[in-house]
Amino acid sequence: MAAEVIYGDQLAQSLREAMKEEVTALKEEGLQPRLVVVLIGDDPASRSYVSGKQKAADFIGIDSELITLPDSTTEEALLSLISKLNQDQSVNGILVQLPLPKQINEQAIIEAIDPSKDVDGFHPISIGRMLTGQETFLPCTPFGIITMLKSKEIDLEGKHAVIVGRSNIVGKPVGQLLLNEHATVTYTHSRTKDMQALTKKADVLVVAVGRAGMITQEYVKPGAVVIDVGVNRTEAGTLTGDVDFESVREVASYITPVPKGVGPMTITMLMKNTIKACVNQNKK
Ligand SMILES: Nc1nc(=O)c2c([nH]1)NC[C@@H]1CN(c3ccc(C(=O)N[C@@H](CCC(=O)O)C(=O)O)cc3)C=[N+]21
C-alpha cells in the first residue's frame, strides 16, 4: 500500500485562512501585526523564500517589510539595525535570513534580537524554553512538522523518532519537540556509523541534511512516517527533497512531498509566531 501524502500547502492554506480572521479581529482592536525580514546579499534561494513569506503575510493581513542589505554589510551595521528594530514598538517580529556572509558572526546576531521579537525561535532563551517545555516561540520548521503530524493525528507517544541531520535550525530542535511529545529520539548525522541500521528502526523519520534523494527505500521501515525537510535546487531549477519520494512512498505510511510539504508550513508558523508576538507585546 502506498503512503498517504501529507500536503503541507493545503494545511498551510487552511491555517492561513484562520489566521486571517484572527488578524482581522486584532485590527478591530487597533493592533497591526508587523514583521521585518532582513536579507543580506542576493542569494536566489533566499529570494524565493522571502517572496513566499511576503505572499503569506499579505494574505493574512500581516504587515511585512523586507530590508535588503549588500553582501558587504558589517556585523556592526547589522547589530545597529537590530537594535533599532528592537526599540521600534511598531515591529513585532524580526527575522534575519540565514546563512549570513562570513564577516558576520551569526550567533552574535541571533543573540542580539530581543527574545520577545524572536519569531524564528533561534535565540538561546527561546531554545532553552523549548527544551524545558515552556511556552515560547518555537522554531518554524520543527513547529510546522509537529503541526503536520498532529493534523493527521499521528500518535507519537513511545514511538521511535529518528532524525537525520543535526542543524541548530531543524535537526536538533525537531528532535526536542518530538521528545516533548513523548517519542524516543535518536539523532543521526554525517559521522554516524551504519546510519541505515538506525533509520530502518524509525517509526517517524525526519530528514534534514540537504542531500538530494539520499533516503531511499532501503533506509525506511515499512509503515514509517517520513518527513522530508530537504530543500535542494536541481540543475533545472526545481526543488527536490532529501527523500527519494517515488521509492519511499511505496513502503511508508505517510510521507511529505517537496515542494508543497514542510516548506509552506515553515512560512505559516512564522506568521503564527508573528501574530503571537503582537498579541504578547500588547498585553497589559
Ligand atoms: N532565519 C531564517 N529562518 C528560516 O526559516 C530560514 C532561513 N533563515 N534561511 C533559509 C531557510 C529555508 N527556508 C524555507 C522555507 C520555506 C520554503 C518553501 O516554502 N518552499 C516551497 C517552494 C518554494 C520554491 O519553489 O522556491 C515548498 O517547499 O513548497 C523553502 C525554504 C526557511 N529558512
What is the ipTM metric for this complex? 0.97
Q: Is residue 234 part of a domain?
A: yes
Of 21-25, 72-76, 236-240, least confident by mean pLDDT is 236-240
Per-residue model confidence (pLDDT) at position 47: 80
Judge whether 134 counts as a catalytic residue: no
Ligand 1 pocket residues where CB is under 6 Å:
48-49, 52, 95-98, 120, 140, 231, 239, 258-261, 263-264, 266-267
The answer to whether residues 256 and 184 belong to one domain is yes
Q: Angle, nearest 10°, between helix axes 140-151 and 262-281? A: 110
Quote the cell numbers at residue 112.
Answer: 542580539
Q: Is residue 196 part of a domain?
A: yes
- The answer, yes or no, to whether residue 284 has pLDDT greater than 90, is no
| Segment 76-116, tens digit of pLDDT | 999 999 999 999 999 999 999 999 999 999 999 999 999 99
Q: Are 20 and 57 in contact (CB under 8 A)?
A: no
Phi, psi of 124, rounded to the nearest 5 degrees: -55, -30
Residue 166 is assigned to a ligand binding site? yes
Per-residue model confidence (pLDDT) at position 161: 99
Question: 216 or 237: whose pLDDT is higher?
Answer: 216
Per-residue model confidence (pLDDT) at position 127: 98
* Mean pLDDT, the chain, integer: 97
The answer to whether residues 163 and 79 belong to one domain is no
The answer to whether residues 145 and 108 belong to one domain is no
Q: Is residue 279 part of a domain?
A: no
Q: Is residue 6 part of a domain?
A: no
Chosen domain end from 96, 114, 132: 114
The answer to whether residues 104 and 172 belong to one domain is no
Q: Which amino acid is at 281?
A: Q
Per-residue model confidence (pLDDT) at position 46: 81
Give the CATH number for residue 73. Answer: 3.40.50.10860
> What is the residue with the minimal CA distance to atom 27 of ligand 1?
259
The answer to whether residues 182 and 90 belong to one domain is no
Tracing cell 512538522 back to the chain, one arrives at: 145
Per-residue model confidence (pLDDT) at position 42: 82
- The answer, yes or no, to whether residue 44 has pLDDT greater than 90, is no
Q: Are 207 and 164 in contact (CB under 8 A)?
A: yes
Tracing cell 511576503 back to the chain, one arrives at: 54
Q: Are 123 and 94 in contact (CB under 8 A)?
A: no
The answer to whether residues 77 and 151 belong to one domain is no
Instruction: Give the count of domains, the chain.
Output: 2
* Distance in Å, CA 30 to ligand 1 centroid: 31
Residue 213 is assigned to a ligand binding site? no
The answer to whether residues 148 and 258 belong to one domain is yes
CA 238 to ligand 1: nearest atom: 25
The answer to whether residues 149 and 79 belong to one domain is no
Mutate to test the pocket of ligand 1, among 37, 46, 49, 110 (most ligand atoms within 8 A of CB): 49
Q: In terms of Cα–Cα distance, which of 231, 212, 227, 224 is closest to 175?
A: 227
34: part of which helix (H) or strand (E)?
Answer: strand 34-40
Per-residue model confidence (pLDDT) at position 43: 79
94: part of which helix (H) or strand (E)?
Answer: strand 93-96
Judge whether 120 counts as a catalytic residue: yes
The answer to whether residues 108 and 148 belong to one domain is no
The answer to whether residues 232 and 149 belong to one domain is yes
- The answer, yes or no, to whether residue 45 has pLDDT greater than 80, is no
Q: Are 209 and 164 in contact (CB under 8 A)?
A: yes
Q: Is residue 22 part of a domain?
A: no
Q: Is residue 87 part of a domain?
A: yes
Beta strands per DSSP E along 121-240: 160-164, 184-188, 204-207, 225-228, 232-233, 239-240
User: What is the rounded CA–CA span in Å between residue 114 and residue 88?
Assistant: 11
| Segment 106-151, tens digit of pLDDT | 999 999 999 999 999 999 999 999 999 999 999 999 999 999 999 9
CA 99 to ligand 1: nearest atom: 9
The answer to whether residues 109 and 204 belong to one domain is no
The answer to whether residues 150 and 212 belong to one domain is yes
- Domain span at residue 197 reads 140-262
Q: Is residue 190 part of a domain?
A: yes
* Distance in Å, CA 208 to ligand 1 centroid: 13
Q: Is residue 130 part of a domain?
A: no
Q: In terms of Cα–Cα distance, which of 174, 156, 152, 155 is closest to 164?
A: 174
Give the CATH number for residue 252. Answer: 3.40.50.720
